[in-house]
């Protein structure tokens, strides 16, 4: 069974192609890392996969720019991960006066991400790495069959980043993640997809890709 299939597709924005000839099949249990230079099309491919998958299953998303509400606390932002499970009245109540069990759940994911002390703090007062972890907490609280995350550890130090990637692997059966750290990509991925020149130029298990092939994604 596959989760998703692209067959020779062209992906882009407003009629402008960014990636052409995209063919790939995603299976449950894969941890796919997208690598490529800035502008290679990683976000474009993640967005296309998100559009396709969300119609079929529960997907948690960590966008590159986080999409947080700066005036609200870390806790309220985390709680937003489940807003589309309910109607408008329930959501209003959740954001004004969350239920104890929701607060406890959000507190647990914030704690898991090292943000217990920041739960009540407005997101606009947090550091870049803390904001990034709030976006992850929102995705963790949401849960789902698949996580799609665009550079989810770019603002974290190496140790913290590796810990967060471990947590992602524990929490989500399948993950699609753009990263720029090749060592992190190798450690996390079951499959690496490399983008260059508007195409998928690499698609294999990390053990089958040598460093020169990865370096070539970033050269020239
Ligand atoms: N919303 C958009 N509308 C129009 N063009 C876009 C949009 N988003 C991205 N692009 C263009 O698509 C191309 C690929 O961008 P994309 O964000 O997918 O690359 P990326 O590999 O994720 O880059 P980065 O590592 O810098 O985030 C770029 O030329 C970019 O200008």
Whether residue 41 has its Cβ less than 6 Å from ligand 1: yes
Kindly give the distance from the C-alpha atom of residue 151 to the centroid of ligand 1, in angstroms, as a whole number: 13
Q: Is the pLDDT of residue 87 over 80?
A: no
Task: Output the pLDDT for position 11.
Answer: 97
CATH architecture of 1-58+144-220: 3-Layer(aba) Sandwich (3.40)
Count the helices and strands in the chain (H runs, E runs): 8, 8
- 93 band by pLDDT with thresholds 50, 70 and 90: confident
Whether residue 196 has its Cβ less than 6 Å from ligand 1: no
Helix or strand run (H / E) with residue 185 = helix 182-188
Mutate to test the pocket of ligand 1, among 10, 11, 13 (most ligand atoms within 8 A of CB): 13
Measured CA to CA, the distance from residue 106 to residue 142 in angstroms comes to: 10
Measured CA to CA, the distance from residue 49 to residue 42 in angstroms comes to: 11
The whole-number average pLDDT for the span 76-94 is 83
Measured CA to CA, the distance from residue 59 to residue 143 in angstroms comes to: 7
Nearest one of 35, 80, 87 to 60, comparing CA atoms:
80
pLDDT digit string (tens) for 41-75? 999 999 999 999 999 999 999 999 999 999 999 99
Task: Output the pLDDT for position 94.
Answer: 73
Mutate to test the pocket of ligand 1, among 20, 42, 153 (most ligand atoms within 8 A of CB): 42
Task: Output the pLDDT for position 56.
Answer: 94
Q: Is the pLDDT of residue 33 over 80?
A: yes
pLDDT digit string (tens) for 123-163? 999 999 999 999 999 999 999 999 999 999 999 999 999 99
Task: Output the pLDDT for position 95.
Answer: 76
What is the average pLDDT value for the chain, to the nearest integer? 95
Sorted by where each begins, the domain ranges of the chain are: 1-58+144-220, 70-142
Q: Encoding tokens for residue 81?
A: 């991960």
Measured CA to CA, the distance from residue 27 to residue 69 in angstroms comes to: 33
Whether residue 144 has its Cβ less than 6 Å from ligand 1: no
Q: Whose CA is nearest to atom 18 of ligand 1?
A: 41
Kindly give the distance from the C-alpha atom of residue 45 to the centroid of ligand 1, in angstroms, as a whole number: 10
pLDDT > 90: percent of the chain: 90
Kindly give the distance from the C-alpha atom of residue 149 to the centroid of ligand 1, in angstroms, as a whole number: 15
Q: Is the pLDDT of residue 83 over 60?
A: yes
This complex has an ipTM of 0.96
Q: Encoding tokens for residue 158?
A: 């190496």
């Amino acid at each position: 069974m596959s989760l998703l299939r692209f067959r020779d597709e062209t992906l882009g924005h407003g009629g402008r192609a960014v990636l052409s000839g995209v063919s790939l099949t995603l299976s449950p249990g894969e941890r796919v890392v997208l690598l490529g230079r800035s502008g290679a099309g990683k976000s474009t491919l993640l967005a296309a996969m998100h559009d396709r998958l969300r119609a079929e299953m529960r997907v948690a998303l960590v966008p590159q720019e986080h999409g947080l509400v700066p005036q609200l606390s870390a806790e309220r932002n985390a709680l937003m991960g489940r807003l589309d499970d309910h109607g408008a009245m329930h959501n209003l109540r959740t954001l004004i006066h969350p239920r104890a069990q929701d607060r406890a759940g959000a507190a647990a994911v914030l704690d898991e991400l090292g943000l217990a002390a920041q739960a009540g703090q407005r997101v606009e007062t947090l550091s870049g790495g803390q904001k990034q972890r709030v976006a992850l907490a929102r995705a963790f609280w949401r849960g789902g069959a698949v996580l799609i995350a665009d550079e989810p550890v770019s603002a974290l130090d190496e140790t913290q980043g590796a810990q967060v990637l471990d947590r992602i692997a524990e929490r989500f059966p399948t993950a699609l993640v753009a990263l720029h750290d090749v060592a992190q990509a190798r450690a996390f991925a079951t499959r690496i997809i490399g983008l260059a020149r508007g195409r998928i130029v690499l698609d294999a298990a990390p053990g089958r890709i040598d460093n020169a092939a990865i370096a070539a994604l970033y050269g020239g």
